[in-house]
Amino acid sequence: MTSVDSRSTRPSGRFRDHTTARVGGPAGRWIRAETQSQALEVLRAHPLPEELEREAGRDTLIVLGGGSNLLVSEEGFPGTVLQIAFSGIDTEEHNAGKVLMSVAAGHDWDDAVRFSVARGLTGLEALSGIPGSTGAVPVQNVGAYGADVAQTLKDVQVFDRARGALISFTKEQLRFGYRDSLLKQTTVHGSPRYVVLSVRFLLQSRPDGLSAPVRYGELARTLGLDAESADHERRAPLQEVRRTVLKLRAGKGMVLSEADHDTWSTGSFFTNPIVPKETAAALPADAPKFSAGTDDTGRPLVKLSAAWLIDQAGCGKGFGLPDGPAAGRGAQGRGIAEGRAALSTKHTLAVTNRGTATTDDLLTVARAARDQVRTRFGITMHQEPVLIGHAL
């Protein structure tokens, strides 16, 4: 086992330097695990606390990957931050033209997608450009442009902090749902029971270099495809699909850029609400609505567009800026967070740091947008990012 020594310990690490929203204070101890052995040493030193302690937010450990789904208060976190930084990709032939791709948890997610596309492996291309590490993507069942991780994931290796043991979960055992999984369900106030160490994907190797069928209307139209046609008619060259997704995401401020404050965010702040069919029926006819199965009693459910709800509630692009929508300008006209935070000027789902924001500033804008939607439509939206030291 490799000891965690001073070379991997950063006593003064600050979350603002390691998260995509660029906010958050210091940690009591900051450890960057360059190997799985280093990570396991730290994890074994921080067993899972009792449930009441977790509910009260008193875990001694935060596990950090790419920092794309985390907001920590400016007061910081008094415990230990374990930053998963080990990377690597392996592939092996499976059967029937399938390839197993194994990715270390700390590997940059978009680089893993780039790797798969470069080798003619289909299934991940629509997930291009999503920031963060590979270990985080199964937690949220990350998805975009008609694809999600559950479609190609085979299994994950995790460390169970309750049992102090390495175990594996298959796709079926992970109980994937919309932006949900067993991994997320067993995380309480940022305290994870299971910590992902590696992820395996089962991808199709296609000699013709074509993508998986494109399911998302906007992406299909941009590629010149008909999203309603048969599967074999909804494929395009893998590299072209990747380039197109990156271009679409960049146009919405969803590809990280040092120079673009619209990208200083956690990505989509709110999940798309899933509501009973009768609730959806009360919305205007032009409100986007998608079938979402049924609840436990068999009642039909409908998925709504959080972006549409926010926009129609008066919180359009730039909400929170002095020259943004009126509802977000504040009493003095300088913006509800003095212009330091706002909804993206490119996409209403992202709450952005305009350069000098604090965590409080971002949450001020998020609460205002949530409250406007609740007042206008009677629907409560829920956040995607994990909040430490704060509640929405």
d(CA 373, CA 53): 33
| 374 is a catalytic site residue | no
Structure tokens given for 135: 């270990």
| 384 is a catalytic site residue | yes
Number of other residues whose CB lies within 10 A of the CB of residue 374: 14
Please return the burial class of 271, using the count of CB atoms within 10 Å of its CB with bins 0-12, 13-18 and 19+. middle
Do residues 36 and 86 make contact, with C-beta atoms less than 8 angstroms apart? Answer: yes
Sorted by sequence, the CB contacts under 8 Å of residue 370 that are 6+ apart come out as: 270, 380, 381, 392
d(CA 240, CA 223): 8
Single out the catalytic residue among 41, 53, 240, 384.
384
| 268 is a catalytic site residue | yes
- Nearest residue to 310 via CA among 336, 337, 349, 283: 349
Number of other residues whose CB lies within 10 A of the CB of residue 7: 8
Single out the catalytic residue among 54, 114, 179, 234.
179
Q: Which residues pair with 163 in a beta bridge?
A: none
Residue with tokens 């997608």: 113
d(CA 46, CA 265): 29
Residue positions annotated with a catalytic role? 179, 268, 384
